Amino acid sequence: MPHDDRSVHFSRLPLGPACLLLAVSLLMLSPLQASAKEPTYEDTLVFIEGNARYPLVERDRRCEFMYRDNFRFSARELNPIPVVNGWGALFKCTQAKKCIDPRNSGTLQGEITIEAKDINKADKVARAVAHLIQLCGGAKAKPDLF
C-alpha cells in the first residue's frame, strides 16, 4: 500500500503542542469543577445571615438556631421543602410535629417563616435554608417532577 504524506501520524507530532493542549483543557475544566462544589455549613449560614431580614443565630450547638431573637428550633426537624410567598419562605416541621418554640415559651408551633431582606432574594434565601437543613441531617428534599 503506498504511503500518503498528507495523513497525520500522531507519533510524528512534537510533544510540546500536545502538552499545551492538555494543559489548556485542564484549565478550562477547573472552573467547572470549582462551581460544582456545594457550599459548606459555614458558607450557607453566612449567606443566610447576610440576606435574611432577621438574625438567624446559631445557639448552643451546631444546627440549633434562634430566629428573630425569639423563635428557637433545630434545623434537623424542619422539612427542607419551603412554601415561598413574597418576602419569605414557610418551613414546616417534619412529620406534622410541632418543633418551633416561640419566645422559649414551651408552647410549640409547627412552622416558621424565614424572611429575606430583599424580595428579589427570597427564593435564594429559601434555597439556602433548605440546604442548611440538609447539611444538618434533616429530611432530604425530593425532586419536583412536574
Answer yes or no: is 20 within a domain.
no
Which pLDDT value is given to residue 146?
41
pLDDT per residue as tens digits for the range 69-103: 889 999 999 999 999 989 999 999 998 889 999 98
Least confident of 2-6, 23-27, 45-49, 63-67: 23-27
Tally of CB atoms within 10 A around 139 = 15
Structural domain including 114 reads 41-135
- How far is Cα of residue 110 from the mean position of the Cα atoms in its chain? 23
Residue 128 burial by Cβ neighbours in a 10 Å radius (0-12, 13-18, 19+): buried
Residue 141 has a pLDDT of: 65
Rounded to the nearest integer, the mean pLDDT of the chain is 81
Whether 89 contacts 98, CB under 8 Å: no
> Rounded CA gap, 84 and 90, in Å?
6
The CATH number of residue 110's host domain is: 2.30.29
58 pLDDT band, cuts 50/70/90, is very high
Within-domain flag for 112: yes
| pLDDT given for residue 72 in this prediction | 94
Number of domains forming the structure of the chain: 1
Does residue 48 lie in a domain region? yes
Q: Residue 3 above 90 pLDDT?
A: no
Please report the beta strands in the chain, taking only residues with DSSP state E, as ranges in sequence order: 56-58, 64-67, 71-74, 83-85, 88-92, 101-102, 111-115
pLDDT digits 0-9 by tens, 100-123? 999 878 889 999 999 999 999 999
